[in-house]
Amino acid sequence: MSEYYHIVPWFNSAEWLKVYELIYSPNSTFETKQEALKQLLVWKARCPSLPSGVESTLTLLEVYIQDAKISGDAINEQLLRLAYSSAIMRFVNHMLDTETARGSSLYQAAKNLGVPDWIIDMRHNTAHSSNLPSIEILRDACSISLDWLQKFYWEKHKMCIKDYVAGQKETNVNDENKIAVLMNYCISLSICTHSRCKIKNLSEIPDVTMRESIVNDVRDLFGDKIDLSNLKTVSIMSLVNAINLQSKKMLRTANAVTYVNKALLGEDSLFLSMELLNAMGNNEFYHKNQLNRPYVQCFEFMLTFLHSNDLLLDFLMELIKISEYSNSDKDRSRLAALWVSEILAALRKSKYFIDKIKKINKNDFESKKRKDLKLLFHHWFPNEKVNGLLLDLQKPVPRELMDLNFIRPIISRYNLNLIYFVRELLNLIEPHLPKVTTEKICKLAKLISSPKTLSSVASKIYTVDDLKKAQEHSIDDDNDSDCQIYEDIEINGDNNTGRIAHGIWQLASNTFNWSTCPLGLLPWQQKSNEDTQTDT
């Protein structure tokens, strides 16, 4: 409830709590209840449409106080019976309205919410019978109704009511937990929408633990907005639509991206779980360096959800980071790299589809619904129904992935798993790189991932000791017994030059920016003329 703000008739939370204490505290008296009634009437003047719980409390409390003031006579008793009957009828109508709006009868609604069924009988008699209940029964019903309101309205809201100051940024310590629940729920729905599962509603989920987990997540995320009284009537697609509509409010927090990636890529998450991969068939992973279609489809809805909510780029960057940690967990790092390849391939297909349909009719693309675009995609590319991942066709590829300057650091870092996704990464760049350049970068990535395939023979392995010995040589020493090849160099950034054997050693400046040096070159091997620049 703290995520939503409402204009209320009470000045602040302290005023609300004061009224609660005046009515329901153990030391409450007739005088304190009178004071509470005055404040409730002030709220009614400020806001004619009060919350149902406050409105019912005001109506019942007003009759209770009038009953205590009026001396006993037949005329007054008849008026009190009318007033009590009206107050109880309004209490039933107001507090059970949410349940009856879903199709439940008043008796079923009362049973679900803990209201005694004889009060429902009293409500019917008041509305349809010519005789009103006795004053004693009405007084008991009023007392029970006020107690019910204490438990189900005042106590319930006491824990979450708080002030909102305009212009003050609110921090919610539960944001991370809520987003973690949202992501786990998203993964569960993604698995339920798998074509092999053929699950249409919640009651058809065979795993009891998973079914209960989804039900609990729905209650945590959506409260009573989704009726879970009959799981046979709750379709999986209705839950998919609900999460697409309601999740945007949950993802507006400042650290939402961090929380999402932590929930999806943590050690306990299913997304990079080798156990799930092995359960879905791992032959392609170990023998072909690919992910099979049934396994990929387990997360198709979840990835589409990230794409639709502009979370996919940050998720990709985190996967690329994990792919670089090949020393800690080789299988997990390779799995992350293969997922990067799958997602990039899906973005490439989306880009090609969007470009093609816009060339035909741009307005037609903007007016089409997501479902229609998907049908058109499968019409144009029928093989994609069984091959590959398909994301949100209404969302374009993130601009950063088409920028060479953005991806340059990714392909420049030492990554043994770069070979698995580098080509898909290069294929997204606009304008397209020359084919020769793309092939050279892919070849370099292959050499990095499998250095044993390099056929190189070296007569000597040079070390730091060789550098130290070279610096000890005299500049004018030309009488070395061995036949050496020398190169003039600058040492420690000074203007003094010296010669080092074989011309391979040189101390670079401590401030040298290594990221500006093209792959495969040392700083002093760069030349100023443009003819010697690399293709990239």
Q: pLDDT digits over 255-295, tens only?
A: 888 889 999 988 878 898 888 888 887 778 888 888 888 88
The percentage of residues in the chain with a pLDDT greater than 70, rounded to a whole number, is 79
Q: How many residues does the chain have?
A: 536
pLDDT over threshold 90, residue 102? no
| Average pLDDT of every residue of the chain | 79
Residue 442: both structure tokens together:
């892919």
pLDDT over threshold 50, residue 499? no
Dist CA 83 CA 62 (whole Å): 9
**How far is CA 430 from each of CA 350, 427, 435, 440, 532, rounded to the nearest angstrom?**
15, 8, 13, 18, 24
pLDDT band per the 50, 70, 90 thresholds, residue 508: low
Residue 263: both structure tokens together:
């929930």
Tens of pLDDT, residue by residue over 144-158, are 999 999 888 888 888
- Decide: 37 and 65 in contact? Cβ < 8 Å: yes
Instruction: Give the up-direction half-sphere exposure of residue 45: CA atoms within 13 A in the CB hemisphere.
Output: 6
pLDDT over threshold 70, residue 490? no
Q: How many other C-beta atoms lie within 10 A of the C-beta of residue 424? A: 18
Residues 6+ apart with CB under 8 A from 97: 52
Peptide bond into 431 cis (omega under 30): yes
Residue tagged 């212009």 (tokens): 167
Q: What is the CA radius of gyration of the chain?
A: 36
pLDDT over threshold 70, residue 328? no
pLDDT band per the 50, 70, 90 thresholds, residue 311: very high
Q: What is the pTM of this model?
A: 0.55
Tens of pLDDT, residue by residue over 116-133, are 888 888 888 888 877 888
* Choice between 179 and 477, residue whose per-residue pLDDT is larger: 179
Dist CA 120 CA 125 (whole Å): 9
- Decide: 264 and 271 in contact? Cβ < 8 Å: yes
